[in-house]
Chain A
Amino acid sequence: MGSLLEIDGLEVTFATESGVVPAVSGVSLAIDRGEMVALVGESGSGKSVTALAVLRLLPEPPARVAAGRILFDGIDLLRLDEEAMRRLRGRRIGMVFQEPMTSLNPLLSIGRQLTEAMVEHLGLGPGEAARRAVALLKAVGIPDPKGRLRQYPHQLSGGMRQRVMIAIALSCEPDLVIADEPTTALDVTIQAQILEVMQGLCARLGVALLLITHNLAIVARYAHRVNVMYAGRLVESGEAVALYRRPAHPYTVGLLESVPRLDRPRGAPLEPIPGNPPDPAALPAGCAFRPRCRLARPHCGERVPGPVEVEPGHRSACFEYRRLLAETPA
């Protein structure tokens, strides 16, 4: 029995002025039905590109899926014809984007934007679609849902708009929702509310969720499994609990130390990872994290480390993971 979504060895390149740049290299991950999976990494690590590749919404060109396979419920998405892919988008895979302020069409009413996927995919009439739209808006916690249908995006706050986007993504009861940094653009105070609503609804409806974020602190509460990306590659993946307790890649350790955590004393110093992510057009030889890594050895610059199972279901792409694990007793 396969997973709901299986990404296998995905490679995406961009044709730029400075040549062909790898944005995603050899990323593999899987999501089961109803599962919450996180994809974590700094800006530019290739999270959005991975998500867009699944929906086949990458701007091609300049983007090109150079290798890999994406299976969704057994369907090979990369070989699907465009019409079949279109009928799958929104119907079986919903997507929530990062920017609620620009994700809604300023000229169309909320009602129109919320119902159009249901009308298109489920063949609902306007009355039935409007009824379901009201229920959806209520479910995502929008007060006076009936009145909202007639409103326009500029009349809603960012948080409200993102709730609308979540309602849109869930409107056709998809099997999977991909949420690409759904709260990054929002006020800290409403971030948690939005995530709570999204996670709660997905759990209730049995919808699998791929949550993309650069904030590892968020992940602990909402994801079963975590995938950490760095410079277009997966550097660590595993169950959220295991990965938190015993991170097996120095980059993950760095991420954990740079965010506030509930399981550490308050006021413990936050330490950002020194240095910056590499320019994808000029990746260092070998492990891309080596220039910023405190564990780096000369051999790290010779080959790109592949994923190694450090414990069941927990993989790390680091040659030196043993030294790391030795620091944190099991």
Chain B
Amino acid sequence: MSRYLLRRTIGALVVMWAVATLVFFMLRIVPGDPVGAMLFDAGDAEAVEALRRKLGLDQPIWVQYGKWFWAVLQGDLGNSIYGSRVPVSQLVMEALPRTLSLAGLAFLLAILIAVPAGLIAATKRNSAADHAVTLFAFLGLSMPDFWVGILLIIVFAANLQWLPAIGYVPLSEGFWPWLSHLLLPAVAVGTAFSAIIARMIRSAMLEVLRTDYVRVARAKGLPRAVVIFRHAFPNALVPVVTVIGIAFALLMAGAVVVENVFAIKGLGRVLIQGILNRDYPVVQGAILVVSAIFVFSNLLVDLLYAVIDPRIRYA
């Protein structure tokens, strides 16, 4: 168990390092000089040179890399190269709770819908409920999340006026204000994810229900609920958990897009602003943090695996 987790943790750290390195070098390879973007008159060679020196861009690239990496290790993501040169870590820390709230709520809603839906569809195969789940999954997968978001705004915010259309209110200002602002974007982000998970649970359950050990559980005379929830469902979860890890990345990506529809100033906003401005410390920082969340959630999935499956726990 501990060896397994140690291996996974080291793996996660290596991935993080690789992502950081990749981000650093990629931003330096793509065309578009931040100095050029910052100066109105890129023809003024002296001003360009001065600014480059100030930003450290005159040093050899591996020196830049070393310095940058050392700073990142200490939590210093650099400063925005614009305006008051706000520290990137501050920008990110402001935006992160919003994106995490959105992705987290989307995740929770999606699971809350997908698990019962998948279970019902599998245990009542070919029933009306099963067909309804299939239809829901099909629709959920075919609609882009920003489009779902716009639809939700039109129906629930503009027409019915049940929920606010845009903005974000921190949790510290009350649960309902926080939730009411996040509900629509969370549904928009979570719909496709929910559809994927519901279908996965359905097919995994159908497979598990055909296994020998489920037949043995029935031959023991266990009540149906015990057969399904003790014997079948945990086994069906094993393949689903893997996909949840991958799909969480999808969720983060979705949150980044949907944030813009709902005017939530989350990581997506920061990232897009950074890209438009060629503000590479901001872009680096934002990508790094998103990757860290992704890697960390995958680590959590590995942990969850070990909790569910003794074959991994005792490997």
A residues adjacent to B (C-beta < 8 A) = 55, 57, 86-91, 94-95, 97, 99, 102-109, 116-117, 120-121, 152, 154-155, 165, 168
Contacts and interface: CB of A to CB of B under 8 A. Distances in A.
B52 interface: no
Contacts, number: 77
B222 A117 contact: yes
5 contacts: A57-B215, A89-B219, A90-B222, A104-B216, A155-B314
B85 interface: no
Interface string B205-245: 00000011101111111111010001100110010000000
B310 interface: yes
**What are the 9 closest A-B residue pairs judged by CB atoms, nearest first?**
A90-B221, A89-B221, A90-B220, A152-B310, A102-B212, A105-B213, A117-B220, A95-B219, A103-B212
Interface string B301-315: 000000011110010
A152 B224 CA distance: 23
Given A97-B212, A152-B314, A155-B314, A106 B219 contact: no
Contact of A168 (B212, B220, B308): B220
A321 to B, nearest CB: 37
Contacts of A55: 219
A120 B220 contact: yes
Contacts of B216: 95, 97, 103-105, 165, 168
Contact of B211 (A57, A90, A102, A109): A102
Contact of A106 (B215, B226, B230, B309): B309
A168 B222 CA distance: 13
Given A99-B212, A102-B213, A152-B314, A107 B235 contact: yes
A289 B235 CA distance: 43
A55 B219 CA distance: 7
A105 B224 CA distance: 16
A97 B215 CA distance: 9
Contacts of A120: 220-223, 226
A48 to B, nearest CB: 11
B221 A57 contact: no
A86 B223 contact: yes
A103 B221 CA distance: 15
Contacts of A104: 213, 216
Q: Which of B212, B224, B234 has the most CB of A within 10 A?
A: B212
A155 B311 CA distance: 9
Contact of B218 (A57, A116, A121, A154): A57
Contacts of B222: 86, 90, 116-117, 120
Interface in B15-60: none
Contacts of B314: 152, 154-155
A99 B215 CA distance: 12
Given A107-B309, A108-B230, A152-B310, A117 B213 contact: no
A286 B224 CA distance: 43
B212 A117 contact: no
A91 B221 CA distance: 7
A108 B221 contact: no
A117 B215 CA distance: 14
B271 to A, nearest CB: 40
Nearest to A118: B220
B219 A107 contact: no
Contacts of A165: 216
Q: Which of A103, A121, A168 has the most CB of B within 10 A?
A: A103
A107 B212 contact: no
A115 to B, nearest CB: 11
Contacts of B226: 116, 120
Contact of A154 (B221, B223, B308, B310): B310
Interface string B165-184: 00000000000000000000
A90 B220 CA distance: 4
Contacts of A94: 219
Contact of B231 (A57, A102, A108, A152): A108
A107 B220 contact: no
Contacts of A108: 230-231
A275 B310 CA distance: 46
Nearest to B308: A107
A55 B221 CA distance: 10
Contacts of A103: 212-213, 216
Contacts of A91: 221
Given A99-B212, A105-B213, A105-B235, A154 B220 contact: no
A104 B231 CA distance: 10
A91 B84 CA distance: 77
Nearest to B219: A95
A91 B222 CA distance: 10
A91 B220 CA distance: 7
A89 B215 CA distance: 11
